[in-house]
Protein backbone atom coordinates (compact mmCIF):
# COMPACT_ATOMS: atom_id res chain seq x y z
CA UNK A 1 0.00 0.00 0.00
CA UNK A 2 2.88 2.34 0.74
CA UNK A 3 4.24 1.99 -2.80
CA UNK A 4 0.82 2.74 -4.32
CA UNK A 5 0.75 -0.41 -6.45
CA UNK A 6 -2.55 -1.31 -8.16
CA UNK A 7 -4.45 -4.27 -6.73
CA UNK A 8 -4.10 -6.20 -10.00
CA UNK A 9 -0.32 -5.85 -9.89
CA UNK A 10 -0.11 -6.90 -6.24
CA UNK A 11 -2.22 -9.97 -6.99
CA UNK A 12 -0.11 -10.93 -10.01
CA UNK A 13 3.18 -10.50 -8.16
CA UNK A 14 1.99 -12.62 -5.24
CA UNK A 15 0.17 -15.20 -7.35
CA UNK A 16 -3.16 -14.42 -5.68
CA UNK A 17 -6.60 -13.42 -6.91
CA UNK A 18 -7.57 -9.76 -6.76
CA UNK A 19 -10.44 -10.75 -4.45
CA UNK A 20 -7.87 -12.08 -1.99
CA UNK A 21 -5.95 -8.81 -2.02
CA UNK A 22 -9.17 -6.85 -1.51
CA UNK A 23 -10.04 -9.11 1.41
CA UNK A 24 -6.61 -8.54 2.96
CA UNK A 25 -6.96 -4.77 2.60
CA UNK A 26 -10.40 -4.95 4.19
CA UNK A 27 -9.06 -6.96 7.15
CA UNK A 28 -6.13 -4.59 7.62
CA UNK A 29 -8.48 -1.61 7.64
CA UNK A 30 -10.88 -3.33 10.06
CA UNK A 31 -8.00 -4.06 12.43
CA UNK A 32 -7.35 -0.35 12.73
CA UNK A 33 -4.34 -0.03 10.44
CA UNK A 34 -4.11 3.42 8.90
CA UNK A 35 -3.95 2.69 5.19
CA UNK A 36 -3.47 5.28 2.47
CA UNK A 37 -5.67 3.77 -0.23
CA UNK A 38 -6.79 7.08 -1.71
CA UNK A 39 -4.80 6.28 -4.85
CA UNK A 40 -7.11 3.32 -5.49
CA UNK A 41 -10.15 5.60 -5.60
CA UNK A 42 -11.66 5.72 -9.10
CA UNK A 43 -12.74 8.72 -11.18
CA UNK A 44 -15.77 10.61 -9.73
CA UNK A 45 -18.34 9.11 -12.13
CA UNK A 46 -17.17 5.58 -11.41
CA UNK A 47 -17.02 6.37 -7.70
CA UNK A 48 -20.70 7.36 -7.81
CA UNK A 49 -21.57 3.95 -9.29
CA UNK A 50 -19.61 2.23 -6.54
CA UNK A 51 -21.27 4.35 -3.87
CA UNK A 52 -24.65 3.30 -5.24
CA UNK A 53 -23.59 -0.36 -5.06
CA UNK A 54 -22.68 0.04 -1.37
CA UNK A 55 -26.04 1.65 -0.73
CA UNK A 56 -27.87 -1.18 -2.53
CA UNK A 57 -25.99 -3.83 -0.55
CA UNK A 58 -26.55 -1.94 2.70
CA UNK A 59 -23.01 -2.53 3.88
CA UNK A 60 -19.75 -0.71 4.44
CA UNK A 61 -17.60 -3.77 3.84
CA UNK A 62 -15.89 -4.12 0.51
CA UNK A 63 -16.23 -7.80 -0.32
CA UNK A 64 -20.02 -7.95 -0.95
CA UNK A 65 -19.87 -4.89 -3.19
CA UNK A 66 -16.70 -5.95 -5.00
CA UNK A 67 -18.53 -9.10 -6.13
CA UNK A 68 -21.21 -7.11 -7.99
Q: Which domain holds residue 27?
A: 7-66
Element (H, E) at 9: helix 7-14
Structural domain total, the chain: 1
Q: What pTM did the predictor assign?
A: 0.61
Is-contact 20 11, C-beta < 8 A? yes
Q: Mind listing the pLDDT tens digit of every residue in the chain (68 residues)?
A: 778 999 999 999 999 999 999 999 999 999 999 999 888 888 899 889 888 888 888 877 877 777 76
Task: Establish if 59 belongs to a structural domain.
Answer: yes
Task: Establish if 2 belongs to a structural domain.
Answer: no
Task: Establish if 27 belongs to a structural domain.
Answer: yes
Task: Establish if 55 belongs to a structural domain.
Answer: yes
Task: Establish if 11 belongs to a structural domain.
Answer: yes
Q: What is the pLDDT of residue 68?
A: 66
Task: Establish if 50 belongs to a structural domain.
Answer: yes
Task: Establish if 42 belongs to a structural domain.
Answer: yes
Task: Establish if 34 belongs to a structural domain.
Answer: yes
Task: Report how far Cα 58 is from the mean position of its chain's Cα atoms.
Answer: 17
Is-contact 19 8, C-beta < 8 A? no
Amino acid sequence: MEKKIPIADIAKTRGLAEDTIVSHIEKMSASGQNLDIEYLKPQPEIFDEIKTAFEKRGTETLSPVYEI
